[in-house]
């Protein structure tokens, strides 16, 4: 069996002078997470805490388990071992489905599939997403979020006719209308052109600067500032 082990503990602690008064200390904590697929251990011993106002950038080669780790953190897939704590929730084991997961007011997840309805327009997709989250969103607010992503001229087109980068932009526009303090994003910059990449980086930085927390995978250098850690799955602890 090919075993790849990550044994690390990341504590991104903000000092009392840096922490905004309204912030809770921790947004996400994972302890001793392990994942197996087809009798192969992708990772084990993964522990970290991500406080408000910080980011965690997960790197690794294809097949290292990056997407699997994100899905475990979101409660979408079970882990082989470990525990996850979200805000205002008790610690729980994540080893057996069905896994408890937070509602969309706490966590916003964007995976590879993006979760868009291809026959709806970009604007309609944002309104539907807000409706499913129980958050009021007017058409004007949806259009404003799309315009901020550089998609004003594409707002009324069905998502199925958009390019990959434009669909990615629509998914990112949903973050602009989300109340969630924790964003978990799988390759958020994939398919974006240079201008859209700059816009996305600014969006992610703004979320962290305003007290949100961000966990993401990316093969790009996202160039985020402020409290944060990068680590690589599949080659032991590699924290910078």
Distances (CA, A) of 2 to 65, 133, 214: 13, 40, 30
Averaged pLDDT for residues 28-35 = 92
Residue 91 has pLDDT above 80, yes or no: no
The whole-angstrom separation of Cα 96 and Cα 79 is 7
Domain residue spans in the chain?
A: 1-106+180-240, 109-179
Q: Evaluate whether 75 touches 49 at the Cβ level (below 8 Å).
A: no
Distances (CA, A) of 220 to 58, 191, 216: 11, 11, 11
Q: Which residues 6+ apart lie within 8 Å of 11 measured at CB? A: 48, 49
DSSP 30-94: EEEEEEEETTEEEEEEEEEEEETTEEEEEE--TTSSHHHHHHHHHTSS--SEEEEE-TT---EE-
Structure tokens at 151: 């998609």
Residue 39 has pLDDT above 50, yes or no: yes
CATH topology of domain 1-106+180-240: Rossmann fold (3.40.50)
Q: What is the pTM for the complete model shown?
A: 0.84
The whole-angstrom separation of Cα 116 and Cα 97 is 25
Q: Evaluate whether 213 touches 19 at the Cβ level (below 8 Å).
A: no
Nearest CA to 146 among 121, 113, 110?
121
Residue 31 has pLDDT above 80, yes or no: yes
Strand 107-110: give its sheet, edge to edge: 107-110, 182-186, 213-217, 54-59, 228-232
- Beta bridge partners, 121, equal 158
Confidence of residue 54 (pLDDT cuts 50, 70, 90): very high
Of the ranges 10-19, 129-138, 140-149, 231-240, which one carries the lowest mean pLDDT score?
Answer: 10-19
Read off the pLDDT of residues 154-185 as tens digits, 9 standing for 90 and up.
Answer: 999 999 999 999 999 999 999 999 988 999 99
Q: Which of 57-66, 89-98, 121-130 has the highest mean pLDDT?
A: 121-130
């Amino acid at each position: 069996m090919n075993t790849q082990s990550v044994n690390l503990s990341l504590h991104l602690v903000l000092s009392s002078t840096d922490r905004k008064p309204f912030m809770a200390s921790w947004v996400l904590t994972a302890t001793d997470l392990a994942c197996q697929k087809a009798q192969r251990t992708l990772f084990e011993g993964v522990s970290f805490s991500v406080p408000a106002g910080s980011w965690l950038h997960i790197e690794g080669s294809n097949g290292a388990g990056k997407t699997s780790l994100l899905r475990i953190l979101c409660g979408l897939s079970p882990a082989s071992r470990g525990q996850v704590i979200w805000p205002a929730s008790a610690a729980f084991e994540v080893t057996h489905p069905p896994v408890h997961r937070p509602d969309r007011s706490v966590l916003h997840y964007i995976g590879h599939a993006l979760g868009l309805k291809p026959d709806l327009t970009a604007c309609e997709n944002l309104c539907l997403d807000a409706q499913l989250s129980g958050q009021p969103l007017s058409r004007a607010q949806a259009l404003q979020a799309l315009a901020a992503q550089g998609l004003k001229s594409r707002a009324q087109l069905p998502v199925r006719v958009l390019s990959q980068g434009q669909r990615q932009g629509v998914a990112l526009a949903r973050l602009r209308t989300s109340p969630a303090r924790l964003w978990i994003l799988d390759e958020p910059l994939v398919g974006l052109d240079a201008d859209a990449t700059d816009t996305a980086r600014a969006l992610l930085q703004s979320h962290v600067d305003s007290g949100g927390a961000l966990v993401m995978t990316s093969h790009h250098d996202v160039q985020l500032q402020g409290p944060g850690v990068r680590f690589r799955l599949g080659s032991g602890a590699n924290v910078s």
